[in-house]
Amino acid sequence: MRKIMIATLLSLACVTCAGAKPMEKGVWINGFEHGFFTEEEVKETVRDAKTLGVTHLFVQMRKNADACYMSNYEPHAKEIAPDFDALACLIKEGHANGLKIHAWVNACRIWRANSMPTDPNHIANLHKDWYNKTVTGEYTSEEGVYIDPAIPEARAHLVKVVSDIATHYDIDGLQLDYIRYPGKSWGYSDYAVEKFNEEFGRTGKPEVTDPDWVVWRADQVTKMVREIRTELKAVRPDVVFSVTTIAWGSWNEDFHKTPPYYYCYQDWYRWVREDLIDLNVPMNYRQEFKPDMAAQFRKWTNAYPKWNAGKPVYVGIGSWYNSAADAFKQVKYVENSDNDGYVFYMFNKGKCRDALLEYVKSGKSETTEYETVMAKGMRLLERNQIGMAIVQFKKAAELESGAASPYVYLGKCALKENNKSQAKKYFEKACALDPTDSEAREGLEALK
């Protein structure tokens, strides 16, 4: 139903931009599932990416301290034939078709299985002294095994891996993922505890919530980001350095009270302010059909431009988590925000990719005049330009005579003007068109 689509698209959360602008569009392709394991898969992925209309491919070249390319430091990924250089093939095919290739590198997580890798040269076997640990000494999280970013040698290894890629491949960008701790009770490697105590003149293990310990651990992740950026810009200053950042849980006005910071010590607000990254790609994965999650998607999407110190933001959309129609509802919200682009996760070969392509080919992904007018009205309402907003909502009502949403927002405009009698008429009209419209009912209840 048209009304449901617009009510979700233009929820009570605010649209912040002055007008829709051209979007950068990308997809993530992970290294665990088919999508670039052979030359044929690479060509198919490039072809489908062009059909979808994206220009950025973020392709996972390092999953768990392995390599989907010819690495000088880590073992070849078992999913790919030993003589096949997936990254070289992606660059060749991608560039020939006008696509930009970003090498996606998992940073701190080095293994995700329950059993350790069989290759004795894998760093999970060579360097157990690099493991991140919990306060109780455990080293395997739900996500797998992590290195502790506080350990200089562990950071130096990752710097070498990144430099190796940037030196030998004509990539357009390099992206870090898992650049964080597994959770708030982590960071207790022997080295980290000893170093922290040395710096603060303490003994024993710090409490998980100790404010100094929280900041110190966040600083260790920032050190890793800084060292990688320094090396990357030294060898390839033209490469775009991006990070996939966390957008878990509830948004908060204070970034330091959000899960990215207090739960996994990923201070990406600092990274953009200190020019440590070129591009922020937050993983804003929310299921659109759940109202509370849809609202959080919008709150986080609205927050990025305020927090990003002028750096571009491509909002990560969980297309595997949504129907194609719902994924494109989120796209349309991003397009009417102050953000710079979006990236779908995921675009590996399979149902998710097929659904996105089918939706685009059907023409349903295109923004209608009604949706554009409603979005414009919302932006004007947010800026308290009530008279101009009313003009847009009345136009939307003419474009879609059976839609309740224009009357809901006309009611809100009337309330802004303290015209309660007119607001009541608009809300009643919306209820008559769609008795299930919760916003219209809530508006009437508030007027009693």
Range of the domain at 233: 20-367
pLDDT for 14: 35
What are the C-alpha distances in Å from 79 to residues 35, 69, 85, 198? 11, 12, 12, 44
Domain boundary, last residue among 367, 398, 433: 367
One domain, residues 420 and 349: no
One domain, residues 377 and 349: no
Residue 19 has pLDDT above 80, yes or no: no
Q: Model confidence over 396-422: pLDDT tens digits? A: 999 888 888 899 999 999 999 999 999
One domain, residues 263 and 395: no
Q: Is 430 inside a domain boundary?
A: yes
Q: Is 139 inside a domain boundary?
A: yes
State mean pLDDT over 157-174. Answer: 98
One domain, residues 387 and 248: no
Number of domains making up the chain = 2
Residue 6 banded pLDDT, cuts 50, 70, 90 = very low
One domain, residues 316 and 405: no
Q: Is 6 inside a domain boundary?
A: no
Domain boundary, last residue among 351, 367, 383: 367
One domain, residues 358 and 399: no
Q: Is 307 inside a domain boundary?
A: yes
Q: Is 387 inside a domain boundary?
A: yes
Q: Is 12 inside a domain boundary?
A: no
Q: Model confidence over 247-297: pLDDT tens digits? A: 999 888 899 999 999 999 999 999 999 999 999 999 999 999 998 999 899
Q: Is 2 inside a domain boundary?
A: no
One domain, residues 358 and 386: no
Domain boundary, last residue among 367, 396, 430: 367
Q: DSSP per residue over 251-280, as a string?
A: --SSGGGSHHHHTT---HHHHHHTT--SEE
Which CATH number covers residue 420?
A: 1.25.40.10
One domain, residues 252 and 314: yes
What pTM did the predictor assign? 0.82
Residue 204 has pLDDT above 70, yes or no: yes
* CB distance 281 to 313 below 8 Å: yes
What are the C-alpha distances in Å from 81 to residues 38, 39, 257, 312, 338? 8, 11, 45, 36, 43
pLDDT for 313: 98
> Phi and psi for 370 in degrees, rounded to 5?
-60, -45
State mean pLDDT over 391-399. Answer: 92
One domain, residues 332 and 427: no
One domain, residues 130 and 239: yes
Which CATH number covers residue 135?
A: 3.20.20.80
Alpha helices in 136-247 (DSSP H): 152-168, 190-200, 211-235
β-pairing, 140-141 vs 279-283, is: unpaired
State mean pLDDT over 183-210. Answer: 98
Q: Is 1 inside a domain boundary?
A: no
CA 165/CA 252 separation, integer angstroms: 37
Residues of the chain above pLDDT 70, percent: 95
Residue 21 banded pLDDT, cuts 50, 70, 90 = low
Residue 28 has pLDDT above 50, yes or no: yes
One domain, residues 174 and 150: yes
Residue 371 has pLDDT above 80, yes or no: no
Helix, coil or strand: residue 245:
strand
One domain, residues 97 and 245: yes
